[in-house]
């Protein structure tokens, strides 16, 4: 059977390479092999921060499986796959021929390596056939599929539309000018984004419904009608220009047909409370956690801290960051999504600690201080040295100033659901757990300077998500 072959091959590979750093290699390989053999829909939940070598448990069964499979990966994981993991398989005479790109592969290519936007294109063009899907980054499935479905309209697309429909050129120009005046007159916030409402879109949608054919991406935009999608403009106030973005609120719902009647394997490090809506009900769900005995994470989160919306919060943040950085010989990472507050903090810390402080640096000094957003840290942490401490200036809770987040919250409000505990809090816990996982391997500490951790009832869930941890009552300089 495929499970036994995968077990033997992976065991031989791990024995050849030496001591395995992740304890669930063989279990994962048997689960993946079983799902591939039975064409099951399987969800495997890993602990956040699991050693990246777990990917071998997915690749060995794929190398032995004889049916066509599509492996869906992000660009970062694709790079690791091609440069690290496939050569490891070749070292033990396991070959895994990969076909890349949006064009349908030949019969000899059992594995089709796809990005998420290529997966969307292949499904729409009917190229997937009966291929099983293997997604090693299940926690990124929704956001990356949402980006793959996104419709983006630039200034050049308006010009192309006018040239293709000369009879409606004047009307299109008037609609564009009216929409531009509305959007540029609205406050766009620090992210330079403005929501485009259904009323804003209605005149253009009514006009284009009467005209055909439409050039790309206008037909795709017209097909995305309904409350399941949201629009916003990325505004450049200096140049008085804007770019139109339109994305689905629930991409798996839009692509539900892609998941029906097809074997799927999803593997991802997400907490149980943050498991995304997948558009299908997995037949098999398994949790592979880290060993139960873990060193507790040193946590500095004293009582009585300022709330992020308090007027004196910037002063409180600077004072605490100064204390935390002082005397540290390793890397410090300060996580803060508010760009204006973050840049001000960088300037204030640089005035005291000099060139060791930087904004979103990818080559920091040994005792450097990086101030960055949560998303930047999640994207780059694998390529940076392990920090000796993480400073969470604010918890990674999505802001309602973000048009996409606001639209998702509004949809839950209409259904009378608890949008904070069902959406924002679980996603924040997932980001927090993935962000701090490296600290446990490095013996570093976490500081949370967000007063909501102790003053809000949901703060207990945040502390539970960080278990095991031990409280630091006072700061001591590193030895």
Query: Which residue has 């394997």 as its token pair?
Result: 265
Helix H or strand E segment including 464: helix 459-465
How confident is the model over 192-245, as pLDDT tens digits? 899 999 999 999 999 999 987 899 999 999 999 888 999 999 998 888 899 999
Kindly report which listed range (8-12, 107-111, 305-309, 320-324) carries the lowest average pLDDT score: 107-111
- 48/46 Cα distance (integer angstroms): 6
Helix H or strand E segment including 246: strand 241-248
pLDDT over 70 for what percent of the chain? Answer: 95
Query: Which residue has 């490090």 as its token pair?
Result: 269
Mean pLDDT of 427-449: 88
What angle do the packed helices 25-38 and 56-64 form, to 10 degrees?
40
* 3-state secondary structure at position 94: coil
C-beta of residue 272 within 8 angstroms of C-beta of residue 45: yes
Q: What is the pLDDT of residue 249?
A: 94
- Angle ∠(54,58,63) on CA atoms, nearest 5: 135
Residue 387: φ, ψ to 5°:
-75, 155
- Three-class SS string for 302-331? CCCCCCCCCCCHHHHHHHHHHHHHCCCCCC
Kindly report which listed range (55-64, 88-97, 219-228, 461-470) carries the lowest average pLDDT score: 88-97
* 3-state secondary structure at position 225: coil
Mean pLDDT of 302-331: 92
C-beta of residue 419 within 8 angstroms of C-beta of residue 409: yes
* 3-state secondary structure at position 356: helix
Residues 6+ apart with CB under 8 A from 362: 380, 383, 384
How confident is the model over 464-476, as pLDDT tens digits? 989 889 998 777 5
Residues 6+ apart with CB under 8 A from 476: none
Q: What is the pLDDT of residue 8?
A: 86
User: Where does the pLDDT of residue 34 fall: very low under 50, low under 70, confident under 90, or very high at 90 and above?
Assistant: very high
* 3-state secondary structure at position 164: helix
- 423/353 Cα distance (integer angstroms): 39
User: Where does the pLDDT of residue 190 fall: very low under 50, low under 70, confident under 90, or very high at 90 and above?
Assistant: confident
Residues 6+ apart with CB under 8 A from 422: 412
Residues 6+ apart with CB under 8 A from 364: 331, 356, 358, 370, 384, 385
- 124/122 Cα distance (integer angstroms): 6
Residues 6+ apart with CB under 8 A from 5: 33, 64
- Selection from 146, 138, 244 nearest residue 200 by Cα: 244
- 270/46 Cα distance (integer angstroms): 7
Q: Is the pLDDT of residue 135 over 50?
A: yes
Q: Kindly give the pairing relationship between strand 389-392 and strand 445-448.
A: parallel
C-beta of residue 19 within 8 angstroms of C-beta of residue 51: no
Residue 86: φ, ψ to 5°:
-65, -40
- 285/282 Cα distance (integer angstroms): 7
- 184/189 Cα distance (integer angstroms): 12
Average per-residue pLDDT for the chain = 89
Q: What are all long-range contacts of 361-368, with beta carbons under 8 Å and residues at least 24 apart?
A: 364/331, 366/329, 366/330, 366/331, 367/328, 367/329, 367/330, 367/331, 368/331, 368/332
The alpha carbon dihedral of 88, 90, 93, 98 has a sign of: positive
Cα dihedral 343/345/350/353 (nearest 10)? -150
Q: What is the pLDDT of residue 130?
A: 85
- Selection from 33, 53, 208 nearest residue 132 by Cα: 33
How confident is the model over 351-365, as pLDDT tens digits? 999 999 999 998 898
């Amino acid at each position: 059977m495929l499970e036994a072959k995968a077990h033997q091959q992976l065991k031989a590979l791990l024995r050849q390479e030496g001591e395995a750093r992740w304890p669930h290699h063989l279990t994962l390989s048997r689960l993946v092999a079983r799902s591939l053999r039975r064409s099951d829909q399987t969800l495997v939940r890993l602990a956040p921060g699991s050693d990246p070598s777990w990917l071998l448990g997915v690749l060995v069964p794929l190398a032995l499986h004889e049916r066509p499979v599509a492996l869906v990966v992000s660009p970062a994981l694709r790079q690791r796959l091609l440069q690290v993991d496939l050569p490891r398989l070749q070292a033990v005479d396991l070959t895994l021929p990969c076909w890349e790109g949006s064009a349908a592969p030949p019969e000899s290519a059992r594995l089709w390596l796809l990005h998420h936007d290529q997966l969307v294109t292949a499904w729409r063009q009917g190229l997937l056939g009966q291929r099983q899907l293997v997604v090693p980054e299940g926690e990124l499935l929704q956001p990356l599929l949402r980006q793959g479905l996104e419709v983006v309209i630039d200034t050049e697309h308006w010009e192309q539309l006018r040239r293709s429909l000369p009879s409606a050129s004047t009307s299109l120009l008037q609609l564009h000018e009216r929409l531009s005046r509305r959007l540029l007159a609205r406050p766009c916030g620090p992210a330079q984004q403005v929501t485009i409402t259904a009323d804003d879109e209605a005149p253009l949608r009514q006009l284009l419904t009467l005209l055909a054919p439409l050039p790309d991406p206008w037909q795709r935009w017209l097909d995305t009608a309904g409350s399941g999608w949201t629009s916003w403009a990325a505004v450049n106030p200096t140049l008085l220009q804007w770019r139109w973005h339109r994305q689905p609120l629930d991409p798996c719902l839009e692509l539900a047909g892609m998941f029906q009647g097809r074997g799927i394997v999803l593997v991802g490090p997400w907490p149980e409370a943050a498991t995304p809506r997948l558009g299908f009900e997995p037949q098999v769900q398994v949790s592979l956690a880290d060993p139960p005995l873990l060193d507790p994470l040193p946590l500095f989160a004293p009582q009585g801290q300022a709330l992020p919306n308090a007027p004196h919060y910037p002063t409180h943040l600077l004072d605490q960051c100064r204390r935390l950085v002082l005397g540290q010989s390793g890397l410090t990472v300060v996580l803060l999504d508010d760009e204006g507050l973050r840049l001000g903090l960088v300037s204030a810390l640089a005035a005291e600690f000099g060139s060791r402080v930087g904004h979103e640096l990818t080559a920091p000094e040994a005792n450097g201080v990086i101030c960055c957003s949560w998303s930047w840290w999640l994207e780059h942490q694998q390529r940076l040295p392990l920090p000796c401490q993480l400073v969470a200036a604010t918890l990674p809770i999505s802001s309602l100033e973000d048009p996409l987040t606001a639209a998702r919250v509004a949809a839950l409000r209409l259904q009378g659901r608890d949008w904070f505990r069902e959406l924002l809090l679980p996603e924040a816990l997932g980001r927090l757990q993935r962000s701090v996982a490296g600290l446990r391997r490095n013996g570093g500490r976490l500081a949370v300077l967000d007063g909501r951790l102790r003053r809000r009832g949901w703060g207990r869930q945040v502390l539970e998500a960080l278990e095991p941890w031990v409280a630091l009552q006072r700061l001591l300089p590193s030895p």
